[in-house]
Amino acid sequence: MGPGKEILIVEDDEEQAQEQRRLLLENGYSVRVARNGAEGLDAIKERAPAVVISDIVMPVMDGYEMCRRVKDDRAFRGIPFILLTTLTDTEDIIKGLNAEADSYVTKPYEPGYLLKRVTALIETPTQYRNNPDEKSVEIFYNGKAYSIRSGRGQALSLLLSTYENAILQNRELNRTQEELKALNDLLEEKVRERTAELTAEVSERKKAEAAQKEGEKRLGSIVETASDAIICMDERGLVYLWNRKAEEMFGYAASEILGRYMHDYIVPERLRERAKAAITAFLSTGRGPVIGKTIEIEGLNKDGTEFPVEVSVSAMNIKGRWHSTGIIRDITARKAAEERLRQKIEELERFKSATIKRELRMKELRVKIEKLEKRK
């Protein structure tokens, strides 16, 4: 397994990068992560890894370009390079050959297979070697040595046809899965229709469901048009409601937040641990320092700026599990108005103090004048 060997992961998708990182760490490797090809090149120049695992489609610099640059550099061309692909186009493998990649792993990948490829490349980094005397290429694969005597054209043709066949099989598998899903959906629909025919209560239930949907629609309309951000969390602390005002206020679309831990996104980092601890306690007890209260705190926008918010949090017990609803208002304008008012009050106080002092001086002058007049 090469304990302690360092693997460089180059992946712009945070979730996929963390999955690969966990897999490798659990199997004794050390890991670094870069978010695109440019960062990956910098990481290699800083410290050469044992193997590079790189996605292909990334911003700034894709996996092909990064691989080409590594292989063009004599100092680093010996580093084994694995490209991750979704297996959708035969041209992908031609691009990989031109980039001199050492291995392809298709997405979604089986963890054991990825580990096997990493181990093989570490143990035998030079798996292919020309043998001019025998007019062959010697290959070391899966612990065995092979001698391939076919020409380059024949080998490339076989490689491409094998890859194309794998693509066709993958597409066929996807099509079959879609057909099975459609058939399953159709079967479920038929079961629902038959059940409706046999149940005298169906009509009333449908009416009740329609009324419920209408109520939900109205409630949804109220929530979406509210002037405050409305956020709901379930019994696991995951967001399941994020209205338009929340999107506008914090800069995250609902699709970026739903099903995630809100505090990782909209709570400033210095307050995050305390907030998470409060959420954990709330999910167990239904109590917390902000439940049933309105507090002022700092919120965090997607662009990294902090701004003052007013938060009201209420608790709901649904089937024995604690949920919460937060109503959040941006009070930036109010805070600015309060600051302007405070400054005005300070100005008035200074003016008042100056006026009093001026009146005292005037009074003293009048007393002095009266004394002078009496002396005359």
Domain positions in the chain: 6-126, 240-330, 344-376
pLDDT (mean) for 343-347? 89
What pLDDT score was predicted for residue 323? 92
The least confident of 80-94, 149-163, 222-236 is: 149-163
Which position has the higher pLDDT, 222 or 287?
Answer: 287
Q: CB of 86 within 8 A of CB of 113?
A: no
In the predicted structure, residue 294 carries a pLDDT above the cut 80? yes
The least confident of 12-21, 98-107, 259-268, 319-328 is: 98-107
Are the folds of 6-126 and 240-330 the same? no
In the predicted structure, residue 21 carries a pLDDT above the cut 70? yes
What pLDDT score was predicted for residue 150? 47
Q: CB of 44 within 8 A of CB of 74?
A: no
**Alpha-carbon span 102 to 40, nearest angstrom:** 17
Mean pLDDT, rounded, of the chain: 82
Report helix, strand or coil for 11.
Answer: coil
Contacts of 162 (CB under 8 A, 6+ apart): none
The least confident of 33-37, 164-168, 235-239 is: 164-168
pLDDT tier at 241, thresholds 50, 70, 90 = very high
Q: Render 27-54 in DSSP notation, one character per residue.
A: TT-EEEEESSHHHHHHHHHHS--SEEEE
In the predicted structure, residue 173 carries a pLDDT above the cut 50? yes
Superfamily of domain 240-330 in the CATH hierarchy:
PAS domain (3.30.450.20)
Tokens of 231: 């956020």
What pLDDT score was predicted for residue 104? 79
What pLDDT score was predicted for residue 84? 85
pTM, full prediction: 0.41
Q: What string of H, E and C letters represents the secondary structure of 290-330?
A: CECCEEEEEEECCCCCEEEEEEEEEEEEECCEEEEEEEEEE
In the predicted structure, residue 185 carries a pLDDT above the cut 80? yes
CATH of domain 6-126: 3.40.50.2300
Which position has the higher pLDDT, 338 or 3?
Answer: 338
For residue 53, give Cα distances in angstroms to 38, 115, 159.
14, 11, 22
160 phi, psi to nearest 5 deg: -65, -40
Q: CB of 284 within 8 A of CB of 261?
A: no
How does DSSP classify residue 79? S
pLDDT (mean) for 62-75? 91
pLDDT tier at 165, thresholds 50, 70, 90 = low
What share of the chain has pLDDT > 90, as a percent?
A: 34
pLDDT (mean) for 42-48? 95
